[in-house]
Chains A and B, each alone.
Chain A
Amino acid sequence: MVDTGLPIRVVLAKLGLDGHDRGLKVVARMLRDAGMEVVYLGLRQTTDNIVAAVEQEDADVVGISMHNAGHLTLGPLIVKALDEAGLAVPVVIGGIVPDADLPELEAAGVAAVLGPGASVEEVVSTVRSAAGRDGST
């Protein structure tokens, strides 16, 4: 009766001053409906809070939503904070990110970026593959 494994656990948050959380709520629902467990932190989170949540929740992936043009500052910041805490957990950024910024985020260690046109399938498969769990829930 050994379970095949836990569902993928995803921490979702908005970092810093950014009040646009509709997108994050939509993504939370997409991931839940794909069978994942979403630990929803919501608005105005600090890096410390996110790192603590990732550690305590034993999360597989962190999703950060950004609509305040702060991604080039905050994206690398959260990757660095997780890294310094010794947590090798991939960061996926969702929101408004110009294509020109993608190489810089990739170089900073951001696992993937999802834009406003991303389909449900794309969101789910991106999170799965970030978690290293392609083809599972």
Chain B
Amino acid sequence: MEAPEPGAGSSAVAELADASRSGDRRATARLLSLVERGGDPADEVASAAHAHVGGAHVVGITGAPGSGKSTITNSLTTLLAEAGRRPAVLAVDPSSPLTGGAILGDRVRMSGASEAGVFIRSMATRGHAGGLALAVPGAVRVLDAAGFDPVVVETVGVGQVEVDVTDAADTTVVVVAPGWGDAVQANKAGLLEVADLFVVNKADRPGATDARRDLDLMLDLSTVATRPGSGRPSITMTTATEGDGIGELAAAVAGHLDLLCQGGELDRRREKRRIAEVRAHLEHLLAGAADEALATEGLLPVQASESPMMAARRLARKLLG
């Protein structure tokens, strides 16, 4: 099957979407490529998928490099696939800001899941028109519409990326490893405030119980660390390479979904997510309009005597009428 080129008719996209929903993995992969490419085809894919989403529990897994996210994702999705579920993984890795290239290495740890039939897609952070904030929800929507459940989004939890991913997930799992930091770091790290569930991985290593205690202490002290409607995050100890604790983690993830459903929090989170996505699209459209105006309408050069902020305000007035 040939991938529709940018600007291809929506019938080609609709055909791919139909095939994807009936289990054609290649069609799903093509749709994901179109989402990554951005522009009109991505919009068509989003529209085609939109009516069929909502079935998947979207689980974000984030944490510091080397904490074991990929190994946990592998063990968790393998377990779920063997239990008859249809999990998919979206593994996000950073691109080089210099060349735009990327080494997407998450599959190295995911041979087991691959053999168990888990659909795995690697995604680089850059090179997407509109950025990750558009590409990740778009890709999740394609996987959701294709009938995968749960959809696990795995990302390096550094900088802005994890916040974007939290926006895209129903349940966010934060992975830490022994030696990651003490109670003070636990308090200052913003990453921890996005957690619905904690995992202390590498639990067979020295310091694992210390890491657990520091997390507990942070949760005891904090009044804001708990996300609304989610209860106090549980802490699961795992040794993902051995599969230890993965059953408990699967139960914690399922339990969190139940909790979200009971309180109506799931709908609230998804509503918030929709608004965030609309905002991201709006931002992208406005940025596009600004680029276009600067390039075509001869609004440049801006006088050196005018401060950049004043110049921007003047141009914004002109653009927005």
**A residues at B contact (CB < 8 Å):** 1-3, 5-7, 28-29, 31-42, 45-46, 48-49, 52-53, 55-58, 86-87, 137
Contacts and interface: CB of A to CB of B under 8 A. Distances in A.
Contacts of A2: 6-7, 37-40, 129
Contacts of B288: 1
A45 B32 CA distance: 24
22 contacts: A1-B39, A1-B130, A1-B288, A1-B291, A7-B102, A7-B127, A32-B96, A32-B101, A33-B101, A37-B124, A39-B104, A40-B104, A40-B107, A40-B108, A49-B115, A52-B120, A55-B29, A56-B25, A56-B119, A57-B29, A57-B122, A87-B26
Interface string B87-117: 0000000011001111111011001001100
A29 B33 CA distance: 22
Contacts, number: 108
Nearest to B29: A58
B154 interface: no
B29 A56 contact: yes
A38 B121 contact: no
Contacts of B104: 37-40
A6 B3 CA distance: 12
A42 B39 CA distance: 33
B211 to A, nearest CB: 28
Summarize A's interface: helix, strand, loop or mixed: mixed
B121 to A, nearest CB: 6
A36 B111 CA distance: 23
B99 to A, nearest CB: 5
A1 B291 CA distance: 9
Nearest to A52: B114
Contacts of A52: 114, 120
A40 B37 contact: no
Most buried by B among A29, A42, A55, A56: A56
Contact of B108 (A7, A37, A41, A55): A41
Contacts of B273: none
Contacts of A137: 99-101
Contacts of A53: 107, 114, 120
B107 A33 contact: no
B29 A7 contact: no
Contacts of A39: 104, 107, 122
B36 interface: yes
A1 B129 contact: yes
A55 B3 CA distance: 13
Contacts of B111: 41, 45, 49
A68 to B, nearest CB: 19
B30 interface: yes
A55 B129 CA distance: 23
A22 B231 CA distance: 47
Nearest to B7: A2
Given A35-B99, A55-B29, A56-B120, A3 B105 contact: no
B73 to A, nearest CB: 14
A46 B129 CA distance: 35
B99 A55 contact: no
Nearest to A137: B100
Given A1-B129, A38-B102, A52-B114, A58 B30 contact: yes
Given A6-B37, A58-B29, A29 B121 contact: no
B114 A7 contact: no
Contacts of A55: 25-26, 29
A49 B111 CA distance: 7
Interface in B36-76: 36-40
Contacts of A29: 103
A46 B111 CA distance: 9
Given A1-B39, A37-B104, A40-B107, A48 B115 contact: yes
